[in-house]
A and B are shown apart, each in its own frame.
Chain A
Amino acid sequence: MSFKEWFVKRSPLPEMWREHMAEYYAPKNFNIFYYAGSLLLLMVVLQFLSGFLVLAHYIPTAQGAYDSVYGIMYDVHYGWLMQYMHVDGVSLIFVLLYVHMARGMLYGSYRSPRELVWIIGYTTYLAFMAEAFFGYVLPYSNLSYWAGTVITSLLKSIPFIGGWVTTLVRGGPGMSGDTLERFMALHVTLVFLVIVGLIVFHILYLHKVGSNNPDGIEIKANKGPDGHPVDGIPFHPYYSVKDLFGFGVWLIIFGAIIFYAPTFHHIFLERTMSTPANPLKSLPDVTPPWYLSPFYAMLRSIPNKTAGILLMVFAVLVPFVLPWLDRNPVKSTRYRPVTRILLIIFFINFFVLAYLGEQPPLPKYFFVERLGAFIYVAFFLLLPFVSKFEPTRTPPARVRFHAH
């Protein structure tokens, strides 16, 4: 008995490899948007590596945190590389998350039978938000301090137990070294493990029902004599080599940012991150990082705090029911021009909200902010009716694919 036979008899790995790689049949007509998924996996691994390295030098105390973070930048060999990887990686993960979700919305990937794939994926996005927020507070810069204060104070509006919850989360009446300790624990263990677990489930649930494609038709409906979809190709080697190429292009972009524009014009690394926490010196306008600012703009568009929070919570949670809001039998917006236009308006509106959320709270922005919040909410409320009555074109029986 060779070693290989001995091993295969005892290991589940060969079977898993076949199920998820070598014999997982994916549609052959994936376009450029489909790189985002594998790139996200790559980025999570890179965040883990860079995070592990910066954690090895980090001190979670009110006195030591800021200096230890800058100690990494100045004193640790290639510390700047670890740190810029970790900081810029966050923004790039959110770029990919938004591309990944936009692709799912464009081609109806959230539709039956993939509702659970969408829900698990969207939960992962929320977990990434939490992970980013906790990480944001850890350097204990003045931005960390005030952003942490503002975000944790949102919890105060929970009825009855709000004050108690806020104190519990902060580890005291205000932000302090205790907050850093618990945020580090959350950032490094709990939320990170939740993200990893959710990603595993996201992929398992996807592979159970099979991947969607830009034409939004089920390739499993058309199987060849070998029992495999005629429009499907094994993930390995076809998509594994394709994703390898995607990794290369993406790492060039990532590298160019790290080596030549690490702060990305202070969008990825804000200016107020460069001054230590000071409880006596509040920032004139605390704005969240760009990837959370659309929701912040919506929160701010209503002058009443509780109502603003309710709107924001609604805006964050409403995509969960997206699979049931869409009632058209056609999935892909390639064959639904009206929904496609609405979606493009929705995406542009999201960008506008992101921009507005970064601006100081000036009256001149109020109208556009409210309009943006209205468009965001209106899209989800209109979708059931639009999708029911919109004109559609008939999708093709086979996926559209031009051999290279």
Chain B
Amino acid sequence: MKKYVVWAGMALGLFAGSASGAFADDGPQLLTPHYTYNAKTIISGARLFATNCMACHSIKFMRYEFLTHDLGISRADVQKDIMLPTGSTFKDNMISAMPTQMAHKWFGLPPPDLSQMVRYKGQDWVYTYLLSFYQDPKRPSGWNNHVFPNVAMPDVLAPYGGIVNEHGKLLRAGDESPQKFKEQVTDIVAFLRFVSDPSVVQRHDDGPWVLGLLAFFTIVAYFLKKEYWKEVK
């Protein structure tokens, strides 16, 4: 009897699974970060990124000078808080200090470049990924992730956010309140979104002028057309 129940359950599950997209990316529901996309958020994210992420992850298409040009961080602040102490210049690309060979040795594969990560995976994915680490003694690093199972990356943000086990039980509280921690992660996501398309600053500066000029041209063209077409009976 029990056997039939199991079979029926499996068949139902298969049916429900195929109906709801069994081949689709099965994973936890992605969360959406809520924030205002402005220089303040991005700069805060840039500082957090430099402190916590850039030891391993490059953002190779970015140059330090973009931070001063586009975001308005002062050169002194960039030098003090964001540049690696390895003697970078403002023209340099933002490359991590970790040698690729060592990265292979330590993690099995080098940490990916994050220049286009938000474009590629979407900001919801990055946000949820950063919030989904849990302690897993079976993994070599001691960490695992709900969004990206068996990921090689350890939870570097644990000191801020605390440590949870697989079922979400808090093992050790972080230095920051859960609210504050989510804000920090949001800032990092905002920074990576900026990194994936820094043209946003210039686009939004120039956009109104370009569209305004085109609107003016269109209005002139409209009246020109009206004038000519008066004759068409």
A residues whose Cβ falls under 8 Å from a Cβ of B: 28, 70-71, 73-75, 80-81, 84, 233, 237-238, 241-242, 244-245, 247-249, 251-252, 255-256, 258-260, 262-263, 271-272, 274-275, 284, 360-364, 401, 403-404
Roughly how many angstroms separate A252 CA and B217 CA in the complex, as a whole number? 10
* Cβ–Cβ contact B116 & A245, under 8 A: no
Complex partner residue of B214 from A73, A252, A404, CB under 8 angstroms: A252
* Cβ–Cβ contact B61 & A245, under 8 A: no
Complex partner residue of B222 from A71, A245, A252, A403, CB under 8 angstroms: A245
Interface size class of B (residues with CB under 8 A): 35 or more
* Cβ–Cβ contact A274 & B224, under 8 A: no
* Cβ–Cβ contact B202 & A74, under 8 A: no
Roughly how many angstroms separate A149 CA and B232 CA in the complex, as a whole number? 55
Complex partner residue of B232 from A74, A75, A403, CB under 8 angstroms: A403
Q: A74-B61, A403-B233 are in contact. List 8 more A-B contacts (CB 8 A).
A: A71-B61, A75-B61, A244-B224, A245-B222, A248-B221, A255-B210, A258-B203, A401-B232
Say whether, besides A70-B116, A80-B199, A80-B203, A259 and B211 are in contact (CB < 8 Å).
yes
* Cβ–Cβ contact B225 & A245, under 8 A: yes
Say whether, besides A245-B222, A259-B204, A237 and B61 are in contact (CB < 8 Å).
no
* Cβ–Cβ contact A248 & B119, under 8 A: no
Complex partner residue of A241 from B21, B119, B214, B225, CB under 8 angstroms: B225
Contacts of A248 in B (CB 8 A): 214-215, 217-219, 221-222
Report the minimum CB–CB distance from B119 to chain A (whole Å).
4
Complex partner residue of A404 from B19, B218, B230, CB under 8 angstroms: B230
Report the minimum CB–CB distance from A369 to chain B (whole Å).
15
Say whether, besides A233-B232, A361-B23, A275 and B120 are in contact (CB < 8 Å).
yes
Report the minimum CB–CB distance from B229 to chain A (whole Å).
5
Roughly how many angstroms separate A73 CA and B229 CA in the complex, as a whole number? 44
Q: Quick one: CB contact mask for B54-76 with A, threshold 8 Å, 1 for yes? A: 00000001110010000000000
Complex partner residue of B221 from A84, A244, A260, A363, CB under 8 angstroms: A244
Contacts of A363 in B (CB 8 A): 18
Q: Which 3 A-B pairs have the closest CB atoms?
A: A248-B218, A80-B199, A259-B207
11 A-B residue pairings within 8 Å (CB atoms): A73-B61, A74-B61, A80-B203, A247-B221, A249-B218, A252-B215, A252-B218, A259-B207, A262-B197, A262-B203, A274-B116
* Cβ–Cβ contact A252 & B211, under 8 A: yes
* Cβ–Cβ contact B120 & A80, under 8 A: no
Roughly how many angstroms separate A15 CA and B225 CA in the complex, as a whole number? 25
Chain A residue at minimum C-beta to C-beta distance from B24: A360
Complex partner residue of B228 from A74, A237, A275, A361, CB under 8 angstroms: A237
Complex partner residue of B62 from A28, A74, A80, A361, CB under 8 angstroms: A74
Please tell me if B92 contacts chain A, counting CB pairs below 8 Å: no
Please tell me if B13 contacts chain A, counting CB pairs below 8 Å: no
Roughly how many angstroms separate A245 CA and B19 CA in the complex, as a whole number? 49
Contacts of A260 in B (CB 8 A): 203-204, 207
* Cβ–Cβ contact B120 & A274, under 8 A: yes
Interface centre among B197, B202, B214 (most CB of A within 10 A): B214
Roughly how many angstroms separate A364 CA and B226 CA in the complex, as a whole number? 52
Report the minimum CB–CB distance from A74 to chain B (whole Å).
4
* Cβ–Cβ contact B18 & A242, under 8 A: no
Contacts of B197 in A (CB 8 A): 73, 80, 262
